Structure 1
């Protein structure tokens, strides 16, 4: 796929001055980090940033009713902010060329602001976070500047299998004033940014999360795709985002279904010493499962350029295997419907959230009971290539996860039955739920951004305007 010329130029120029060089080192040798003797957890000496802790999980009736695992505890709420501005009636997004220590490929496109509370409070002693003033203390129409309007502002979860009740504030702020474009930032059209989701490991996880929180209208409801024929897939995406009837399930019924799942799911999460977790080995090198599956906790030393600080050490979670997230989709009277599952995770603040149809690392199920194998996984892996509408490997967040990558798939299928924990939903229903916290998971948000892109990117033959 051809990159926009300005982005291609900036990426080539930036690779020599914006980078993170990451060296794996023993956990015991991390500068500024220590093992808490009372809990066995790994903590930063400042008390900020995050800790790696142990938990025991009980879920009666589940194919795996009990397990123990490490988990990242980052109680502070980070900020993911995207500035949007119209140029000649065309919405543009201000993105940053950002290198994270866990990125496999170096630079990726991040939101305008991507910062933990420790970072924007400068616990690290580094330089201020650029553009923070557009988001900190923002209101729907800022009294300080009526030329700024909050388009989206909602707390959303992170991965519930890896984070303990982690949340980020996802914000989109529209501006009409002049904005200085600092080094390492550029304006991309919303269409360009959606089209770039088809490029492997380019648009980072946090950008995908914020894009999903945009109201569905601006993302998909204009241009040639909206006027395509009744059998056109892109047009069905547009109708789904607009909320054109019919939706198979009223939103009130969907809310009741989610609430019922949260009430009836028994999920108990209790702290455990990190150095005493069953089936996990903890030594100076790191923490790993005795099966060699799932993930490990490793230590890294980072040398950086183009960041607020030039070097640091930290623990990271390193998954084993490439994950899969997939939506099965179908058209009902020309309106696209998405098969979502309500999924419980130990790290969610409210037990369960809407997740993709399939969400797993397939290799992990080699060491789990057959009953644990995800529903519809075989439908996704065995799909006719002609029915695969989107298929790209994208990175997870590179600040906490080392080389974590997930294959994102959208597969069209005939209307399938709904098991109890699954429902067919429209994109408008997802959009309405995304106005509130803790309804739509990180994995689902990432995949929703990709699905929306199929309508936006359809306006150009290669997905990116020339």
Structure 2
């Protein structure tokens, strides 16, 4: 019999957890069709046109051959720079690459209020230049500091005042700084914040382009390709969906998987590892992992070249840095140009999960990325672009990759392609997968780089900065949707 370590203490605010759980379990009479129709209406009436452009000719940007970087002439927004990376002992110990340097801390904020006693979230229909298709379900506020300080000279960001602490009666639900993609951003962080406001929609009306939704509506939309944007997924992952207040919302779930998932979220049965031991493992990994990063000029990057107005890898793999010209309706600014990162191939992000002692556990990886603030964060079991490893021997392929790719469809508990943040990444999509394993397969005995973790433990860790990477946070939101969505 598997002995589980002691569970977590109940959530700090049981009333709040109960409100969130009830919102996540609320009935969606039309199956989410109204929400999808609302987004489609915006696609028809608020168009954005995006055209590829030469990096050297982007309006408002300097392609600096002396400093070796591409930056905005205002000195705001972000820059594309060259990075030299050394990680002794890693499978690849040294490489160079372009990276986005954006030292500003942006705001990813969602407003909440009670409508008929049920908590609702104010979501935005937002189109970004990198979106593969149309509008996506986005946070109430999704803005860099340069944007909300109006460095672009455009209109003010709606509802921003609720996230700057200037509205009486507003209650903070969650407020934590989290990392962005550590392979493409250098030490980038955003505030992930949810604020509850009293008075319902009469006190805070939904402006055009905004809609009050239950958490259940948003969770249902996660199953649809390219609908819920990355920023929404990361903010929702930080909600305190753990503890005994979840039990009424999850009562009567007949499915064994969902029952095990709910027990994992409740946290009462504990997990294979104590949370203190997980934190110690993460601290040891950060202490023993040396990541040396240094800036190098873009035009000297080893393995990269300028071709057709873009920066591309000599092997045609990984990603490219491209330029775009954008014309938009309904945005703070109607026209602009910018660099973007464009991935080659569809990424794969997967959690392998299994029931241990009747409690669902997630196999999390201790992952190093050059842009992390603190070297190592907990990540999905698999996180890569499979095309980049197609011709490599098994010893050079990521652990568990082949197992996930070969998984029987009956074991896929979640499987949706979703796009990454469309403000910086052009048509960059990732397949998000949850694969359930059963039995005591010896191949699932974890090595030093992986740990079995409950959802309650992940929810506890994500309340703090830099423990879960953005891909793991997206999958955490997907798992929450599986547990509570009616």
Of the three residues 326, 334, 337, the one matched with 2:358 is 334
Residue 106 of structure 2 aligns with which residue? 78
Which of the residues 161, 164, 171 maps onto 1:136?
A: 164
Judging changes above 3 Å, is the alpha-carbon distance between structure 1 residues 182 and 219 closer, same or farther for their aligned structure 2 residues?
A: farther
TM-score between the two structures when normalised by the length of structure 1: 0.93
1:359/1:12 CA distance change after superposition, 3 Å = closer
Q: Distance in 1 between matches of 2:244 and 2:304?
A: 44
2:464 to 436, 442, 445: 436
CA-to-partner distance for each residue in 1:183-239, whole Å, 9 max, x for gaps?
00001111111111001000000000000000014999255633335x611122121
Q: Pick which of 249-258 and 367-376 moved more.
A: 367-376
| TM-score of the aligned structures, taking structure 2 as reference length | 0.90
| Aligned residue number for residue 281 of structure 1 | 305
Deviation, 1:246, is 3.0
| Contact 1:64-1:369 at 8 Å conserved across structures | no
Who is 1:248 aligned against?
A: 272
How far residue 343 of structure 1 moved from its aligned partner, in angstroms, is 0.2
Tell me the residue number matched to 2:168.
145
Q: Secondary structure at the residue paired with 2:283?
A: helix
Size of the aligned set, in residue pairs, is: 451
| Partner residue in 1 for 2:183 | 161
Question: Following TM superposition, by how much is the alpha carbon of 1:13 offset from its aligned partner in structure 2, in angstroms?
Answer: 2.7
Do structure 1's residue 59 and structure 2's residue 87 form an aligned pair?
yes
Q: Give the equivalent residue in structure 2 for 1:174.
A: 196
The structure-2 alpha-carbon separation of the partners of 1:66 and 1:11, relative to structure 1 and needing over 3 Å to count, comes to same
User: What's 2:47 paired with?
Assistant: 19
Distance 2:346 2:173 in 1: 34
Unaligned 5+ runs, structure 2: 1-27
Once residues 248 and 325 of structure 2 are traced to their aligned partners in structure 1, the CA distance between those partners, rounded to angstroms, is 47
Deviates more, 1:291-300 or 1:18-27: 18-27
Query: Is 1:195–2:220 an aligned residue pair?
Result: yes
Distance in 1 of aligned mates of 2:164 and 2:186: 25
2:243, 2:456 within 8 Å by CA — same for their partners in 1? Answer: no
Report the Cα offset of residue 369 of structure 1.
6.7
Q: CA RMSD in A?
A: 1.8
- Of residues 386, 395, 410 in structure 1, which corresponds to 2:434? 410
Q: Which moved more, 1:344-353 or 1:275-284?
A: 275-284
CA deviation profile, 1:92-141 (whole Å, cap 9, x unmatched): 11100000000000100000000000000000000000000111136xxx
User: 3-state DSSP class of the match of 1:410?
Assistant: strand
- How far is 1:9 from its partner? 4.0
What is the distance in 2 between the residues matched to 1:50 and 1:179? Answer: 33
Correspondence 1:426 to 2:434? no
Partner of 1:452: 480
Distance 1:252 1:366, change over 3 A: same
Kept in 2: contact 1:40–1:53 (CA 8 A): yes
Superposed, which structure 2 residues align to 1:344-355 within 5 Å? Answer: 344-355=368-379
The answer to whether 1:49 aligns with 2:77 is yes
- Cα deviation digits, residues 355-375 of structure 1 (max 9, x gap): 000000011124667533110
In 1, the alpha carbon distance for the partners of 2:45 and 2:244 equals: 33
Residues in 1 aligned to 2:436 and 2:266: alpha-carbon distance in whole angstroms: 20
1:5 Cα offset (Å): 4.7
Distance 2:281 2:40 in 1: 49
Change (3 A) 1:3 1:102: farther
C-alpha distance in 2 between matches for 1:17 and 1:234: 40
Deviations 1:13-42 (A, max 9, x none): 322332321100111110000123432100
Q: C-alpha separation between the residues in 1 aligned to 2:352 and 2:308?
A: 43
CA displacement, residues 139-185 of structure 1 (integer Å, 9 cap, x when unaligned): xxxxx522x11010000000000000000000011111221110000
Q: Which runs of 5+ in 1 are unaligned?
A: 139-143, 460-466
State the secondary structure of the residue aligned to 2:225. coil
| Pairs within 5 Å for 1:264-279 | 264-279=288-303
Distance of 2:455 and 2:241 partners within structure 1: 8
Are the aligned partners of 2:365 and 2:449 in contact in 1 as well (CA < 8 Å)? Answer: yes
State the secondary structure of the residue aligned to 1:160: coil
Does the Cα contact within 8 Å between 1:262 and 1:350 map onto a contact in 2? yes
Q: Which is worse superposed, 448-457 or 155-164?
A: 448-457
Change in CA separation of 1:111 and 1:337 when aligned onto 2, cut-off 3 Å: same
- Tell me, what secondary structure is at the counterpart of 2:251? helix
Q: Any idea what SS the aligned residue of 2:45 has?
A: coil
Aligned to 1:360: 384
How far 1:244 moved relative to its partner? 1.9
What are the superposed Cα offsets for residues 410-466 of structure 1, whole Å, 9 maximum, x if unpaired? 000035211101000011111111111010000100111111110122x1xxxxxxx
Structure 1 counterpart of 2:11: none
| 8 Å Cα contact 1:64-1:372 kept in structure 2 | no
